[in-house]
Amino acid sequence: MSDRNDRWGDLLRRANRGDGAAYAAFLTECAPVIRNIVRARSGGGDEVEDVVQEVLLAIHAKRHTWREADPVTPWLYAIARYKTVDLWRRRKGGTPVPIEDVAEVLPDERSGEVMAARDLAGMLDRIDARSAGIVRAVGIEGESAGEVGARLGMSEGAVRVAYHRAMQRLKEMAADETGRTG
Amino acid sequence: MKTEDLIAELAAAPAAAPPTTLERRAALGVGLGVLVTLALFLWALGPRPGLAAALADPVVAAKTVLPLVLGGMALVLALRAARPGVPGGALARVVWAVPVAVAGLVLWAFAATPPEARMAAFIGHSIAVCLPAVVILSLPIYAGLVAALRSGAPVRPALSGALAGLAAGGIACGIYSTFCVEDTPLFYGVWYSLAVCLATGLGAVIGARALRW
């Protein structure tokens, strides 16, 4: 436990100072532990890996909130628990409703597609222009992350992370809309 | 996307922001908030006449010093709560000394005030100014602090919001107290406390949404 704390602390210290290899090692070693935390709090299922990736993105986004003097494992586990609980609450927000009760209001598939395309355009207007541009280019026009990155002056990795985050936001928006109308 | 690919991409990202980002932003946010609050205070209320002489009385000074001390401690606790896994430490217990001191002052004033004068001292004449003024004056500080806390990672957003509200309420109350001429703890010990509690509750409600990430 303490060994792990020292080792991960050392890796994250180097990572936060710009050592990419140490950072990759840190995230790779954390991932199985995070997976266990997520699984323990969700009972398994297909979405576990999605949540693990969300937790990794959260750790990435908040890695500056760890101070080198603090133990790293409590920091890491606190983020993992918070994100897991938060994401699970968002995804399983509604109580289950018997299908017969909603069958009449379920759209048929064709109109669903039209709705989806229209909603997507509407939702893209509600996220920042840069992310919307990346989603349009990668998700709709099928450009590669490398091409988009070259155009926007971002690294390929940064484009993929931005795309992943934007898609996550769009999914949340879509879930909110469904929650409101359905 | 596969998790290994995600890790490879994250590892290729530029280095992290410096670890003192949170403190620097909090200093900036609270500093700007206090300036706005002071401007608002001087425009709408202003200090009482003979402020310096009044503050020479420790019972009067307490109504300025205690909320400021409370606000300062809450500010430190709010910053700690914005770092995952960092405990509140001894300060989380020491902070309770302020309400205990206030309760002591109220009891002392209750005993020292003649029974027939207690009700008048307790009701005073400015509750309708005091409560809204403290809450409103706390808002610029709260906004500055919450904006900074969003760059942290509060794993209990409502608690962090409450601590930010307590910090902002305490500082705002200390500023307001230099306007207020109701000097008995029977008044300020009760109504200032209520005002700071309102700011704290409001902070918790807003923080539960604004500090999610």
CB contact under 8 A, B1 and A164: yes
Provide the pLDDT confidence category of residue A98 given band limits of 50, 70 and 90.
very low
pLDDT at B13: 84
Determine the Cα angle at A83 with ends A67 and A98, to 5°: 175
What are the tokens at A92? 């399983």
Question: Do A79 and A12 fall into the same domain?
Answer: yes
pLDDT at A62: 92
Cross-chain CB nearest to A49 (options B3, B19, B82): B3
Within a domain: residue A148?
yes
Question: Do A75 and A16 fall into the same domain?
Answer: yes
Within a domain: residue B7?
no
CB contact under 8 A, A27 and B83: no
Question: Do A6 and A65 fall into the same domain?
Answer: yes
Within a domain: residue B8?
no
pLDDT tens across A81-95, in order? 999 888 877 766 544
pLDDT at A178: 65
Average pLDDT, chain A: 77
pLDDT at A107: 41
Q: For chain B, how far is it from start to end, CA to CA, in angstroms? A: 22
Question: Do A28 and A85 fall into the same domain?
Answer: yes
CB contact under 8 A, B85 and A71: yes
pLDDT tens across A156-177, in order? 777 878 887 887 778 777 777 6
CATH number at residue A172: 1.10.10.10
* Statement: residue A36 has pLDDT above 70: yes
Q: How many domains does chain B have?
A: 1
Domain range enclosing A65: 2-91
3-state SS class at A2: helix
CA–CA gap between residue A61 and residue B17 (Å, rounded)? 10
Residues of B in contact with A78 (CB under 8 A): 84-85, 155
Within a domain: residue A96?
no
For the purposes of burial, counting CB atoms within 10 Å of the CB of B171, is it exposed (0-12), middle (13-18) or buried (19 or more)?
A: buried
Rg (CA), chain A: 20
How much is the ipTM here? 0.87
- Give the DSSP per-residue string, B89-156: TTHHHHTTHHHHHHHHHHHHHHHHS-HHHHHHHHH-S-HHHHHHHHHHHHHHHHHHHHHHHTTS--SS
Distance, C-alpha A66 to centroid of its chain: 20
Residues of chain A that touch chain B, judged by Cβ-Cβ distance less than 8 Å: 15-18, 20-21, 23-24, 27-28, 31, 49, 52-53, 56-58, 60-68, 70-71, 73-79, 81-82, 86, 155-158, 160-161, 164
For the purposes of burial, counting CB atoms within 10 Å of the CB of B82, is it exposed (0-12), middle (13-18) or buried (19 or more)?
A: buried
Question: Do A119 and A74 fall into the same domain?
Answer: no
CA–CA gap between residue B1 and residue A123 (Å, rounded)? 22
Residue with the bigger pLDDT between A134 and B59: it is B59
pLDDT at A116: 57
Question: Do A114 and A156 fall into the same domain?
Answer: yes
* Statement: residue A180 has pLDDT above 90: no
pLDDT at B38: 98
Question: Do A117 and A63 fall into the same domain?
Answer: no
Within a domain: residue B12?
no
Question: Do A71 and A127 fall into the same domain?
Answer: no
Chain B: residue whose CA lies nearest to A68: B19
Residue keyed to tokens 């706005």: B36
CA–CA gap between residue B39 and residue B68 (Å, rounded)? 18
Within a domain: residue A175?
yes
Question: Do A177 and A140 fall into the same domain?
Answer: yes
Within a domain: residue A103?
no
Helix orientation angle between A48-61 and A20-42, rounded to the nearest 10 degrees: 140
Question: Do A11 and A80 fall into the same domain?
Answer: yes
Q: Burial letters for A20-52: b for 16+ Cβ neighbours within 10 Å, e otherwise? A: bebbbbbbeebbeebbebbeeebeeeeebbbbb
Residue with the bigger pLDDT between A147 and B84: it is B84
Q: How many domains does chain A have?
A: 2
Q: Which of A31, A26, A24, A40 is nearest to A72 (CA)?
A: A26
Question: Do A73 and A114 fall into the same domain?
Answer: no
Q: Which of A109, A99, A27 is nearest to A63 (CA)?
A: A27
* Statement: residue A100 has pLDDT above 70: no
CB contact under 8 A, B7 and A24: yes
pLDDT at B164: 98
Q: Which of A109, A145, A81, A71 is nearest to B9 (CA)?
A: A145
Sites in chain B below the pLDDT cut of 70: none
Residues of B in contact with A21 (CB under 8 A): 11
What are the tokens at B56? 């020479």
